[in-house]
């Protein structure tokens, strides 16, 4: 059954979607858990709507409002991500992987895989790197997700990023677990300094991708103190005056998308570390955490978007 993208909700539908938020999320979490445990089965809208006790019409609209995905998008990305993990981590045949991930034929699997990952399953296996994978957990195994965190937690992906260079400035920062945290005041000062130097070099920070780098490689030995870098993406030529070059090594990351104010980012990261990570099949690594700020980021915009990259490795 082919599932299309639903139309935007009308005023009447918005009223329905905004009512009984806790009850809606409880039902959606139950459906997400069901999907997670039955990916190899036929997951039709009718079958999933029955799990939620909503009509098909209600279920599709509430699902999209709560997760940011249509039903079809979420199931397809979850199946293909599971297939990608099996390609990288097991010697299973492609046909067996296709069938185990809910596809009827190897041809349909290969076509869908190429659409999501931009390459064939065989090429993905040869590369041996996890990229573009939607990472899922069974939400019944973790404490309730706060409503303003639902979408980011459902669209965490796993990416393998090669080594790269940035230009920036750094300063020691006392993190949240140090005896005297100063993260909230120290980090803005580093960014202000970078912005001034970038403009002096006739580079407009608003038109560039900015990267915050948290060097946590030795944080445990330094009582929670670590170097924080405010950076520009390095390009050809020499770095602008006053900016040092930093090489970030190749690493596998869990990528956490964050919408809205940065005031909520700490809450998102705490939920990720305490609840998501232990149930994910990955464990954290003391490496270089990344904050990615591209043109979608605006500090005073409720629709602002950035990504936080956490180094991980499979258990």
Query: What stretches in the chain show pLDDT beneath 50?
Result: 1-21
pLDDT (0 to 100) of residue 275:
83
Q: So what's the pLDDT on residue 212?
A: 97
3 state DSSP class of 306 = strand
Task: Please tell me whether residue 247 adopts helix, strand or coil conformation.
Answer: strand
| pTM of structure | 0.80
- For residue 203, count other CB atoms closer than 10 A to its CB: 16
Residues near 227 by beta carbon (within 8 Å), at least 6 away in sequence: 170, 171, 172, 173, 215
pLDDT for the residue numbered 273 = 87
Contacts of 189 (CB under 8 A, 6+ apart): 171
CB-CB contact of 161 with 309 (8 Å): yes
Which residues, listed in sequence order, are joined to residue 306 by a DSSP beta bridge?
A: 258
H helices of the chain, in order, are: 11-18, 21-37, 45-52, 56-67, 71-89, 94-100, 106-117, 121-127, 150-154, 183-200, 265-271, 277-279
Percent of the chain with pLDDT over 70: 86
245: left (phi over 0), alpha (psi -120 to 50) or beta: beta
Would you say 59 and 52 are in contact if contact means Cβ atoms under 8 Å apart? yes
pLDDT for the residue numbered 25: 55
Which of left, alpha, beta for 202 (phi over 0: left; psi -120 to 50: alpha)?
left
**What domains are defined for the chain?**
11-68 (no CATH), 160-314 (3.20.80.10)
pLDDT score for 69: 86
Instruction: List, as one string, the DSSP characters of 158-227.
Output: EEEE--EEEEEEEEEEE-TTSSS--HHHHHHHHHHHHHHHHHHTT--GGGS-EEEEEE-TTGGGTTTEEE
Decide: residue 97, CB within 10 A, 0-12 exposed, 13-18 middle, 19+ buried.
Answer: buried
Q: If we measure between CA atoms, which residue out of 197, 233, 196, 198 comes closest to residue 212?
A: 233
């Amino acid at each position: 059954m082919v599932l299309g993208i639903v139309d935007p909700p009308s005023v009447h539908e918005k009223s329905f979607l905004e009512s009984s938020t806790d009850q809606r999320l409880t039902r959606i979490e139950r459906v997400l858990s069901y999907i997670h445990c039955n990916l190899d089965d036929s997951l039709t809208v009718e079958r999933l709507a029955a799990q939620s006790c909503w009509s098909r019409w209600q279920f599709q609209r509430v699902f999209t409002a709560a997760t940011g995905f249509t039903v079809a998008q979420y199931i397809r990305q979850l199946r293909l991500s599971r297939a990608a993990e099996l390609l990288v981590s097991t010697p299973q045949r492609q046909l067996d992987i296709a069938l185990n991930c809910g596809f009827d034929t190897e041809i349909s699997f290969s076509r869908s895989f190429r659409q999501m990952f931009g390459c064939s399953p065989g090429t993905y296996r040869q590369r041996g790197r996890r990229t573009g994978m939607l990472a899922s957990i069974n939400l019944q195994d973790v404490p309730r997700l706060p409503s303003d965190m639902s979408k980011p937690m459902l669209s965490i992906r796993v990416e393998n990023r090669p080594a790269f260079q940035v230009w920036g400035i750094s300063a020691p920062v006392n993190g949240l677990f140090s005896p005297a945290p100063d993260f909230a005041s120290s980090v803005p000062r580093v960014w202000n300094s970078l912005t001034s130097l970038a403009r002096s070099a006739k580079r407009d920070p608003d038109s560039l991708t900015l990267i915050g780098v948290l060097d946590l490689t030795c944080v445990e030995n330094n009582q929670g103190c670590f170097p924080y870098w405010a950076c520009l993406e390095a390009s050809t030529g020499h770095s602008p005056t006053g900016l040092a070059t930093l090489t970030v090594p190749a690493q596998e990351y869990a990528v956490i998308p964050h919408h809205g104010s940065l005031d909520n980012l700490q809450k998102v990261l705490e939920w990720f570390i305490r609840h998501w990570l232990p149930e994910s099949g990955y464990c954290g690594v003391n490496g270089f955490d990344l904050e990615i700020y591209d043109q979608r980021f605006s500090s005073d915009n409720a629709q602002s978007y950035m990504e936080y990259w956490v180094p991980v490795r499979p258990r």
